[in-house]
Amino acid sequence: MRVYLDNAATTPIDPEVIKEMCKVMENTYGNPSSIHAQGREARTLIERSRKTVANLLGTSPSEIFFTSSGTEADNMAIRCGIIDHNIKHAITTRIEHHAVIHTFEALEKAGTIKLSFVNVDAKGNIDYDHLETLLKDNERSFVSIMHANNEIGTLSDMEKVGDLCETYNAIYHCDTVQTMGHYKHDLSKLKAHFVVCSAHKLHGPKGVGFLHINHRIKIKPLIYGGAQERNMRGGTENIYGVVGLAKALEMAYADMEQHQEHIQGLKTYMKNQLVESIPGIEFNGETDPDKSLYTVLNVSFPEMEMADMLLFNLDIAGISASGGSACSSGSDIGSHVLTAIGTNPSRPSVRFSFSKYTTKDEIDFTVAKVKELCLVNA
């Protein structure tokens, strides 16, 4: 038996998405920038997909810009938002994705910004009072706080962050890569200037995402070249990727409540089974279901021999998961997220992440194998 529990890294493509993409690959080969019939056909598919995405998110098609990934979208929002608006101060957290943290660090190293980190507690919750202090005590800021942490699953309050940013005239970027397609986002009401999606996190293809740019803010392109994406991103569009993204998001919205109930039930079941099976087990991140991403369960196991081999041994046992321990020294390459929230570095941690395809039998198999490994290495 082979069990895939690394859906926060990437999800299997839905067969219906593959069908839609294959139709495009087989039949639509024109360049969307060409004015002839084949080009117009390709352009129609892109704009139809853009309209689908916009309608699902309660926004205008003119605010959706397709990219190659969530990482590109994060870079575009941060770099262009800061440079084009002459922002000198940025605020983020130490538990953001590296696409965000490393971009800020590069800008700080270049002398473009001063970077501040808002405090988070031991579960990864944002200290909103500290955020307000940072906003109040500095010149106009660029704020980047993700909706759900990709390692521990803790959710931020997007409405609260948006209200604070509006009060202090800050630019708000929210990395929603882990929650797009898993929660409903009404971008007409959200006070964010930038929101990000990556298709492969919601059973779509790799190599395509989008950046939502609210009409209240204007930026210049990150990638220059042609006039694609209304002069905002040079490069011939990934037509079948864009179609796949739109189809995946459409399917996610159609069955969202059903999938959430299924996945949350499996997460709760696995959590309870692990507690019963392994004494001393702990969970990283927020445990309240209303404050935690339902697709992610991050587990700290008791100290054991060969702790650094746990993921490898799980893989050998037929279980695909990810994670790791916090950094125990300055030279370690551990999880920056677990280090930031103060997780015990001597305990191995594993992130199990679920999808609509995960089954109870797979959870039972995983718990049994994990218990076996813990007993052997105790």
Q: What is the mean pLDDT of the chain?
A: 95
- Give the residue-averaged pLDDT of 150-163: 98
Q: What is the pLDDT of residue 309?
A: 83
Q: What is the pLDDT of residue 308?
A: 74
pLDDT over threshold 70, residue 204: yes
DSSP string, 93-145: -TTS-HHHHHHHHHHHHTTS-EEEE--B-TT--B-HHHHHHHHHSSSSEEEE-
pLDDT over threshold 60, residue 330: no
- Give the residue-averaged pLDDT of 288-307: 89
| CATH code assigned to 15-254 | 3.40.640.10
pLDDT over threshold 80, residue 306: no
- Burial (CB count <10 Å: 0-12, 13-18, 19+), residue 150: buried
Site of tokens 């630019």 = 171
- pLDDT tens, 4-22? 999 999 999 999 999 999 9
Q: What is the pLDDT of residue 328?
A: 46
Res. 307 pLDDT band, cuts 50 70 90 = low
Output DSSP code: residue 302.
Answer: P
Three-state secondary structure call for residue 263: helix
Q: What is the pLDDT of residue 345?
A: 84
- Give the residue-averaged pLDDT of 109-124: 98
Q: Which two tokens stand for residue 104?
A: 């800020």
**Cβ 221 vs Cβ 80: under 8 Å:** yes
Q: Decide yes or no: CATH 4.10.140.10 for domain 3-11+255-377.
A: no
**Cβ 264 vs Cβ 338: under 8 Å:** no
pLDDT over threshold 80, residue 331: no
Active-site position among 22, 80, 327, 374: 327
- pLDDT tens, 214-241? 999 999 999 999 999 999 999 999 999 9
Q: What is the pLDDT of residue 16?
A: 98
Q: What is the pLDDT of residue 303?
A: 82
The model carries a pTM of 0.95
pLDDT over threshold 90, residue 304: no
Q: What is the pLDDT of residue 310?
A: 87
Residue ranges matching CATH 3.90.1150.10 in the chain: 3-11+255-377
Residue ranges matching CATH 3.40.640.10 in the chain: 15-254
Per mean pLDDT, which range of 94-98, 205-209, 210-214, 331-335 is the poorest? 331-335
Q: Which two tokens stand for residue 376?
A: 């052997």
Res. 158 pLDDT band, cuts 50 70 90 = very high
C-alpha to C-alpha distance for 270 and 368, rounded to whole angstroms: 11
- pLDDT tens, 28-49? 999 999 999 999 999 999 999 9
C-alpha to C-alpha distance for 148 and 195, rounded to whole angstroms: 13
CA-based nearest residue to 314, from 271, 366, 274:
366
> Is 327 tagged catalytic?
yes
Q: Which two tokens stand for residue 145?
A: 């706080």
pLDDT over threshold 70, residue 332: no
C-alpha to C-alpha distance for 29 and 260, rounded to whole angstroms: 37
- pLDDT tens, 44-79? 999 999 999 999 999 999 999 999 999 999 999 999
Q: What is the pLDDT of residue 317?
A: 95
Contacts of 40 (CB under 8 A, 6+ apart): 30, 34
pLDDT over threshold 80, residue 326: no
Q: What is the pLDDT of residue 325?
A: 62
Three-state secondary structure call for residue 194: strand
C-alpha to C-alpha distance for 57 and 181, rounded to whole angstroms: 10
What Cα–Cα distance (Å) separates residue 370 from each residue in 1, 275, 334, 355, 365?
Answer: 14, 12, 21, 20, 9
